Amino acid sequence: MRLSARNQLTGTVISVTRGPVTSLVKVDVGGDQHISATLTTEAADDLGLVVGATVATIFKASAVIIGVE
């Protein structure tokens, strides 16, 4: 898979919480770090997302915001 997005982390699906319209997918990307993604349940089904699947998380952000108390 070739993409222009440079922010890519490979990981393992650790949970898929399916809803009637959207699903929450949590991915372990190593180093005790997890990434969560919300996508349509139809897309999750089309991708065959199940616990244990190896996936690529790909993200692109125009801004990163950091806050402190």
Is 11 contained in some domain?
yes
Total domain count for the chain?
1
Closest CA to 22 of 45, 52, 56, 55: 45
Domain region containing 18: 7-59
> Which pLDDT value is given to residue 52?
98
- Looking at residue 13, its pLDDT comes to 98
**What percentage of the chain's residues is helix, strand, coil (to nearest 5)?**
10, 50, 40
Low-confidence ranges of the chain (pLDDT < 50): none
Answer whether residue 69 is part of any domain.
no
Does a structural domain hold residue 25?
Answer: yes
Q: What is the CATH number of the domain that holds 39?
A: 2.40.50.100
Residue 67 lies in a domain: no
* pLDDT (0 to 100) of residue 4: 80
Establish if 43 belongs to a structural domain: yes
Domain-located, residue 49 = yes
